[in-house]
Homo-oligomer: A and B are copies of this chain.
Amino acid sequence: MHKIRNVGFSLLASLAVALTTFVGAACAQGALPSWNDGTFVTTVTREGSPDFVVPAERIAVFDNDGTLWTEQPGPVQLAFALDRVKTLAPQHPEWKDKQPFKAALEGDMKTLAESGEHGILEMFMATHAGMTTDEFAKIVTDWLVTARHPRFQRPYTDLVYQPMLEVLAYFRANGFKTFIVSGGGIEFMRPWAERVYGIPPEQVIGSSVKTKFQMRDGRPELFRLPELNFNDDKAGKPVAINQHIGRRPIAAFGNSDGDLEMLQWTTMTGGIRFGLIVHHTDAEREYAYDRNVILGRLDKALDGAAVNKWTVADMKRDWKVVFPFEKR
């Protein structure tokens, strides 16, 4: 919340060029040719405008990994899982000889990747289940205090994008409800999303394991089971948006092919809509990748941006700052 509160309505006058990405560039690029001098947000919030949207319908959805915080050199939650394997290894002597745990313990990413979806899922279930929801939230919170990003040597929650914090604040200042819709774990994000993004738990949507209600020592608890409940990625994102929100968003922000269907669901309909893709083009300040990677690949969604007039935010060109700590 620290950086967000100060932004308010004066955002348009603020420093970040990022904002012109969608309040201006959408226009300049002809993405929304029916706008005159306007912008998406000012258009949908102008009473009397034919494109006016009542506050209740102002829903904006944001991917997390690569859209709100950095996802390179690998997803933060993967780093968490690898650390958890090390922490739990003493209780699992068999892991020394059992894949994918052996590879995880040895830091052998190639063998880990070769264990495939099944292997990765097994590692996630072994590290993300077998405790209550409250216990898991504490594990995540504690881990984030000490874990450091390998390149920036900072807590992962420092590596959120300042321009996107401003977008979140700007949308909320204009009556939008902002939701995270991420392939990442819903319970991995909730413990810190409110503090860092100003997004409360009930507006965080993500992948999940099954949980079971049970009584222990006369107290109710929710126990996390080693079984995938929902994979909130690709075509799963519109499904989860409908399940959790029950309204179709009017603005969507993503950065990879995992966000393609969410952007389609949001924008390919009647009425004024806004789609934006964060394009990682800045190897110096962050990372440069799109069609050339596996995790976080931006390929079909980049083609979709051209077809559907989604704004592409070029990190190198459009973002005056990337991370909050660059601001002095």
Contacts and interface: CB of A to CB of B under 8 A. Distances in A.
Nearest to A237: B213
Contacts of A246: 186-187, 190, 200-202, 204
Interface stretch (A38-46, A119-127, A261-269, A293-301): A261-269
Contacts of A3: none
Nearest to A201: B246
Contacts of A204: 246
A93 interface: no
Interface in A227-286: 229, 235-236, 238-239, 242-247, 261, 264-265, 268-269
Interface in A187-242: 187, 190, 194, 200-204, 208, 211-213, 215, 218-220, 222, 229, 235-236, 238-239, 242
A222 to B, nearest CB: 5
Contact of A238 (B59, B220, B242): B220
A220 B264 contact: yes
A56 interface: yes
Contact of A200 (B56, B201, B213, B220): B56
A247 B201 contact: yes
A148 interface: no
Contacts of A212: 235, 239
Interface string A51-72: 0000010010000000000000
B265 A238 contact: no
A141 interface: no
A172 interface: no
Contact of A213 (B190, B218, B239): B239
A265 B220 contact: yes
B202 A243 contact: no
Nearest to A243: B208
A309 interface: no
B239 A222 contact: yes
Given A208-B243, A244-B244, A246-B201, A238 B219 contact: no
Given A186-B246, A202-B246, A246-B202, A219 B268 contact: yes
A177 interface: yes
Nearest to A247: B201
Given A177-B202, A238-B213, A186 B268 contact: no
A21 to B, nearest CB: 24
B194 A56 contact: yes
Interface of A: 56, 59, 133, 177, 186-187, 190, 194, 200-204, 208, 211-213, 215, 218-220, 222, 229, 235-236, 238-239, 242-247, 261, 264-265, 268-269
Given A200-B246, A201-B246, A213-B235, 8 more contacts: A56-B200, A177-B202, A190-B246, A202-B202, A211-B242, A215-B264, A222-B242, A229-B243
